[in-house]
Amino acid sequence: MPKRKSVPSLEKLCLENVVKNMERLWLKHCAMDGSLDRDHSHDMKGPFSILAGSLLHELLNIMRKRKLMSPALLHLFFLPQLKELNLRPWSQQIGGTIAHIISVRCKNLTSLILNCCDQIPADALVGLVKVLPRLTTLKLVATQFNTEVLSTIRTSCLGLNELDIAHCKSLTPDSLLHLVYDPITGSYCCQSLEGLTTEGVMLGPNHLSLLWVLAFVLLALPSLKYLGNQATEQAVRLIHDQQFSHTQMLVGFPSLEEVARYRASTHPHEERSRFTLGLKQVCGVLDSSLPKVGAVCPHLLEVSVILRNSHGLDQHLLSWHNLVHLSIDGMGKDLRELFPVITCLGTQLK
């Protein structure tokens, strides 16, 4: 039977027509009028200023796909009704001026993606984050993001659910402490954070400091479901073994033992001798570490395992009753050894 041809929605057709008009009239006008690149461009409004935020976002996507957007025209899209903004496609054209325009005109944003916008100074990021209290998603991969921006997020973005700060060269492991704890008030912060990606965070002078800080973050954030870092699995094992006595935190911050006591006091259903995290995904788990990771993270939906000895693998994996995604690195292993695992888990895997 021939595949039924999809019919564009009326909304899509209307937006396509707006794009055609912009291509015919506005793009030429922007090219001729150099004034649109000046700082006062945030006072101008485009012909689509009455569009709802969702339509404005879709119009931006259409313009991006057709490669019609210029920095001058981009300014005109920064309107109060905009809820989502992804500037990754224009990362090399975004600087402090545009960040300021966004802070003035787009105070209702709930999602902001500035990945690779490395020309925005850290102080401009601070000013931007400070006026966006409704943010639930913030992605600042490979930017000038630093500890000061983290501290601002802690105090200004109280409802943040997802934060991606991977490959930000100005960050150290100790920087992450400023996200989850306020040393001035002595309080734990960002309690609604569910996803945190910190890949590429530069190691400090003590290579163990990263493990200690990740363990601190895991214990301090009760809603955390994903912690993207190459050392997450090791931090989980540290929590299982509760090797807290020899760890050293930054001056002004609680010790891991104090964080563990805080966790126990706020989670009375957990036994002090066994912490249970809400993580849904852990990558790079050694097969020998499966019992420990399984004990601390019983709610995993996705796990990747580095296979060294497949003996008893099915027994350990079966402890995750909700597992739907299993990735196995079994270089040099006979894959027939995995048959018992697939037999037991096959019906639940997606």
pLDDT digits (tens, 9 = 90+) for 263-297: 988 877 765 568 999 999 999 999 889 999 999 99
Which of 267, 245, 275, 269 has the alpha carbon at shortest distance from 257?
Answer: 245
Q: How far is CA 137 from CA 20, 56, 111, 113, 272, in A?
A: 32, 18, 5, 8, 33
Query: Mean pLDDT over all residues of the chain?
Result: 85
pLDDT band at 350 (very low <50, low <70, confident <90, very high): confident
Q: In what order do the strands lie in the sheet with 162-164?
A: 84-86, 111-113, 137-139, 162-164, 195-197, 226-228
Q: In what order do the strands lie in the sheet with 302-306?
A: 281-286, 302-306, 325-329
**Contact, 226 vs 195, CB < 8 A?**
yes
Write down the pLDDT at residue 35.
Answer: 41
pLDDT band at 338 (very low <50, low <70, confident <90, very high): confident
Q: Compute the average pLDDT of residues 140-150.
A: 96
Which token pair is 343? 């037999």
Q: In the chain, which ranges are continuous DSSP H helix?
A: 10-21, 27-32, 53-65, 71-74, 96-105, 122-130, 147-156, 177-180, 209-220, 232-241, 256-266, 290-296, 313-317, 339-345
Q: CA 221, 225, 228 angle in degrees (round to 5)?
A: 95
Share of the chain above pLDDT 70, in %: 87
Bigger pLDDT: 63 vs 1 = 63
- Which residues neighbour 44 within 8 Å (Cβ) at sequence distance 6 or greater? 36, 75, 76
Q: Output the pTM of the full model.
A: 0.87
Write down the pLDDT at residue 40.
Answer: 45
Write down the pLDDT at residue 96.
Answer: 92
Q: Compute the average pLDDT of residues 47-51.
A: 75
Question: d(Cα 270, Cα 256) in Å, to the nearest integer?
Answer: 17
pLDDT at 139 over 60: yes
What single-letter DSSP state applies at residue 112? E
pLDDT at 323 over 60: yes
What single-letter DSSP state applies at residue 201? P
* 18-37: pLDDT as tens digits: 777 776 666 665 555 444 34
Q: How far is CA 281 from CA 18, 161, 223, in A?
A: 42, 16, 13
Dihedral of CA 148/151/157/159: which sign? positive
